[in-house]
Amino acid sequence: MARPDLHDRIASLRKLRVAQDRVRVRRIVSRRDGVRVEVDGRWLVECCSNDYLGLAQQFQVTTALQDAAARDGVSAGASPLVSGHHAAHAALEHELADWLQAPAALLFGSRFLANLAVQQALLGEESDACVQDRLNHASLLDAARLAGCRLRRYPHGDAEGAIRQLRNVPDGAAMLATDGVFGMDGDVAPLRALALVARVQQALLYVDDAHGVGVRGPNGRGSVAEARLGVEEVPLQLVSLGKALGGYGAAVIGDAALIQHLAETARPYLQTTALPPALAAASSEALRQARRDDWRRDKLAGLIERFRTRATVAGLDLLPSDTPIQPVLCSADAQALAWSAALEESGYWVPAIRPPTVPEGKARLRVTLSALHSPEQVDGLVQALVRARAPQSLAVSGA
């Protein structure tokens, strides 16, 4: 039997990516100053970061990181159930749970690990099912496949589609999983309708609110709080430490018994070195500022409205979103690359987003706004987008 040669396979796949304008290239950031970044020796206004509240370089947050690193080092040294669970971790978990008004929280090294932990620990049988929105983040979809349960997907934002899928899996435990704010479209899941579906179908509703917490809801408590739902309706939700909080890592928040089960059984938690204590200390400081500083959300909301108003008047093709994620649709992958290159010439960094990150035919520029942007920068970005509609040479930066 002759096995396929993996080098031949990847060479063929790359050739296909080149033909489809889907080659990805990593850009090197040398320095960062707020929303200004030095990329390949040139300073650009960054409009593609998830640092929505501008906390990643905030003085008190970076001071907390430096002080904790000087005191505790750069590593937790072990997994949480060996010797890696530090006082800084416990403090952050307590603060997260208190902020989101839930009984308990559990830290993870990343969103991917957290979503895998939830589904592997709770859906361990082949008869179990996870019903998911078709546009959920890849970590939710991959987690269901790795957990070994049945994955069922419903049309985007369609609560009736969700209930139909749940009715098709009458036996076994069921989880209904959705993003709170969808990372590529910027819209918000119909959480109240999904909560009703989950209750009627006896499914556990799990909300990955990576892009919602810090930005939406009262005191920035996220999409679940904005929908006036609590732990009874949404027993588990995910918080990213690397989006609005400006750090790195993630946490699962919710029902105490479920959180305890994850802490005792979830392999992505048990078999991974704990988050560095210094990062936990920095996230605690960022959390306190995100919780307190409504002015950051108010300024961000004003910038979002400003961008949408000016872009709409200019005739740009936007998706319906009132979040910091503002996709500008393009007709083809090549057009997205050309527009991205033109924006860079104008001093703005907005990489092209192409399949498979987004569905076929949905290439776009994923503009993201931060509380650190100025109104003048937003106006300049719209003007640069208008100029970009003219034919431009192609580029290869993007996702």
User: Which parts are annotated binding residues?
Assistant: 24, 137, 211, 357
* Contact status, residue 189 vs residue 197, Cβ threshold 8 Å: no
Number of C-alpha atoms within 13 angstroms, CB side, residue 196? 8
Closest listed residue to residue 205, CA positions, set 190, 186, 185, 226: 190
**Degrees (nearest 5) of the Cα angle 106, 261, 283?**
0
**Can you say which residues are annotated as belonging to the binding site for pyridoxal 5'-phosphate?**
211
Take residue 214 and report the two structure tokens written for it: 């810090």
- Single-letter amino acid code for the residue at 197: V
The single residue listed with the structure tokens 């997205």 is 336
Q: What are phi and psi of 6, to 5 degrees?
A: -65, -30
Phi, psi of 38 (to 5 degrees): -95, 115
Q: Work out the angle at residue 354's Cα, subtended by the Cα atoms of residues 352 and 355, and round it to the nearest 5 degrees.
A: 170
**Annotated binding-site ranges for substrate:** 24, 137, 357
Pairing label, strands 204-208, 236-240: parallel
d(CA 165, CA 128): 13
CA dihedral 139, 144, 148, 153 (to 10 degrees): -140
242 token code pair: 């690397």
Cα 37 from Cα 59, distance rounded (Å): 18
- Return the number of other C-beta atoms located less than 10 Å from residue 367's C-beta: 25
The span from the CA of 141 to the CA of 128, in Å, is 15
Which residues have C-beta within 8 Å of that of residue 57, sequence separation ≥ 6?
32, 33, 34, 246
Backbone angles phi, psi at 286, to 5 degrees: -60, -40
